[in-house]
Each structure stands twice: as C-alpha cells, then as structure tokens.
A and B are shown apart, each in its own frame.
Chain A
Amino acid sequence: MTIEGRYVRNKKTLTDEDQHKLANSCVAIVGCGGLGGYIAEELARIGVGRLVLIDGDRLEVSNLNRQIMATELNIGQWKVEAARDRLRSVNSEVKVEIIKEWFKEEKGPEMFREVDLVFDALDSLATRVELERVCHRLKLPLVFASIAGWFGQIGVSLPGDFSVSRLFGNGERGVESTWGNPAFTPAVLASLSVAEGVKLLAGRMPALRRAWLQVDLLTMEFERFEINNT
C-alpha cells in the first residue's frame, strides 16, 4: 500500500534522491535473529525497496528477550516468515524475499544475485569470514556487526578490505556463549549497522571502513579502532 507522506520524517536526513535510491535497492540480511530482525525492521521503515532475509532457524522461547520478530504467538515459526509477516504490516511497499536456509559460501552467488548490499547478522565466527569472502568475490559491500552481553562491534568491509577475517578469524564462538544477549545490545548495534548501510546505498562514504567501532554499553564508551593492512 502506497501511503502519501510515509517518508516525510526521513527529510532532510535523506534527500528525495537518496529516498529514490533506497527504493530501488535490494539488501540481503544474513541471519534473522537479534541483530537481523532489527536491521530488517529499520530498513523496511526507512524505505529500502527489496529485502532478502536468510535464516535456517525457527523462533524459540529464548528469543523473546531480544528478537523483535519473536512474539508469544509465533514461537516455532520460521524466523524469516515471522519477519516477513511483521514487515508486511510495517511497510507493504517493501518486497520481502525469504530464504529458509543457513548461509553457505557456495550458495552466496545464488542468494545475492540481485543484491546491492549485505548485512552480516550471523552468530558464527567462521561463517562471518565465509560471508566476507563471498561478498568480496561478488564485489558487494558488507556491513558487519556482532554482540555479546553489554558489548558489540560494528564496521564496514568493502571488497579487498578483509576486516571481518581480521576481527573474527580466530576461534569458533565468542563470549556471547557465556554472557548472553540482552535486549538493548542488538538494538543498538543493528541501528549503527543500518546507519552505515543507508550511507552506502545512498552513495555516500561510510564512516567505519577499514575500522571497527567497539561498543561498551556498560561504561557507555564507543571507541573506534583502525584495521591496518599489515
């Protein structure tokens, strides 16, 4: 449904030209949990034309503490289906495609066929590195974010940067396995990701290329670190 004035409060942060670019963009969100749900919500509200949601998981009770797509009524539903249903009522102008599978490196070219930008909202360190490799091969920009407890990291990886492999190249799982993921951390990191992603879609420079922002919501410190190619 086209609603006159839907995007009026996006001005003047976004120009008419920016808004037009978003409407003609296709964005893939890999992982539709805590981060991915909020990222999808914000991209739909701001007016991105097409979203591809990728997640092979179903909603469970332990998702209710943080995942915006999870409600008491849809436990057991595929996460991407729950997201599509919610987004339809938020912005029916957005085309939402869903893929009920886990991301795998060899599936990347098929999954990202018409995609302009990819968001990494995964929860596996090794798969994050695979995703970056695929994005570089397909010449796609990538916004990555990760969370654990009070903490998060977010950055942008353009083809050739290898920021993700530098940050997440060691180990299997992060400290989220012991510190969990409370409601506020995915919301903050998803919003930071979308802010960077919107710049990329509008053709502006992202702020966090070859860098990452270290987010600490316990001390409320946001510190930027450079990723050097040495």
Chain B
Amino acid sequence: MRVTVKLFATFRDGRFKVEEKNLSEDSRVLDVLQLLNILPEEVAICLVNGRDVKEQHLLNDGDTIALFPPVGGG
C-alpha cells in the first residue's frame, strides 16, 4: 500500500518534508517510524488523516501521516 508521510520542524532535518512510501499490508505507524529512524519517544504528535493516533495505529492504503517532534521552549 501507499501512504503519504509529512514531517514537521526538526524531523525534516536530513530527511524530507513530504514523501510517498510503499509499505507492506498491515503496517503500523511504528513501521514508518522505524523506516525513518525516528524513535517513538521522539514523537510528540502523530496525526493520521488529521486524527491523533498512537504508534500502534494500523495504516490503510492512501493514509496521510504527519509527525511532529516536541517543541517546548519559551
């Protein structure tokens, strides 16, 4: 299946802004994180099609995943 991965803020550093990825069926958000060399604890928010999900969330063909690192400074 094909999904669109969007990265934000520092996740773009050395990676990309938006890319399409081919994944095997039954892939989860966690598999995308592994593919991108991002640890689950580095993620503050993960949206799939605009909805807040956890890393175990099962993906579907055509999903858009948006990943945000924690931005906490003041």
Chain A residues in contact with chain B, CB under 8 A?
31, 33-36, 120-125, 128, 145-153, 166-168, 170-171, 173-176, 178-179, 181, 186, 214, 216, 219, 225-228, 230
Question: How many A-B pairs with Cβ below 8 Å?
Answer: 91
Question: When A and B form their complex, which 6 residue pairs have the shortest distance between CB atoms, in order from nearest?
Answer: A174-B72, A176-B73, A174-B70, A123-B74, A151-B9, A148-B71
Which of chain A's residues have a CB closer than 8 A to the CB of B74?
31, 33-36, 120-123, 145-147, 186
Give CA–CA (A176, B43) in the complex, Å.
Answer: 14
Which of chain A's residues have a CB closer than 8 A to the CB of B41?
170-171
Do residues B72 and A225 form an inter-chain contact, with CB atoms below 8 A? no
Do residues B71 and A176 form an inter-chain contact, with CB atoms below 8 A? yes
Give CA–CA (A122, B8) in the complex, Å.
Answer: 22
Do residues A228 and B71 form an inter-chain contact, with CB atoms below 8 A? no
Q: Which of B8, B43, B52, B71 contacts A146 (CB 8 A)?
A: B71
Which of chain A's residues have a CB closer than 8 A to the CB of B32?
none
Question: Can you sample 25 A-B contacts with CB below 8 Å?
Answer: A31-B74, A33-B74, A34-B74, A120-B74, A123-B72, A123-B73, A123-B74, A125-B72, A145-B74, A146-B74, A148-B72, A148-B73, A149-B10, A167-B44, A170-B43, A175-B69, A175-B70, A176-B71, A176-B72, A186-B74, A214-B8, A216-B8, A225-B66, A228-B50, A230-B52
From B9, B68, B73, residue with most partner A Cβ within 10 Å: B73
Give CA–CA (A230, B41) in the complex, Å.
Answer: 21
Which of chain B's residues have a CB closer than 8 A to the CB of A214?
8-9, 68
Which of chain A's residues have a CB closer than 8 A to the CB of B15?
none
Do residues A170 and B51 form an inter-chain contact, with CB atoms below 8 A? no
**Total interface residues on B, using CB and 8 Å?**
20
Interface residues of B in 1-47 (CB under 8 A from A): 8-10, 17, 41, 43-45, 47
Chain B residues in contact with chain A, CB under 8 A?
8-10, 17, 41, 43-45, 47, 50-52, 66, 68-74
Do residues B10 and A148 form an inter-chain contact, with CB atoms below 8 A? yes
Which of chain B's residues have a CB closer than 8 A to the CB of A228?
50-52
Which of chain B's residues have a CB closer than 8 A to the CB of A152?
71
Give CA–CA (A171, B71) in the complex, Å.
Answer: 11
A198, chain B: closest CB distance, angstroms: 20
Knowing A123-B72, A123-B74, A125-B72 are in contact, say whether A149-B52 is a contact too (CB < 8 A).
no
B61, chain A: closest CB distance, angstroms: 22
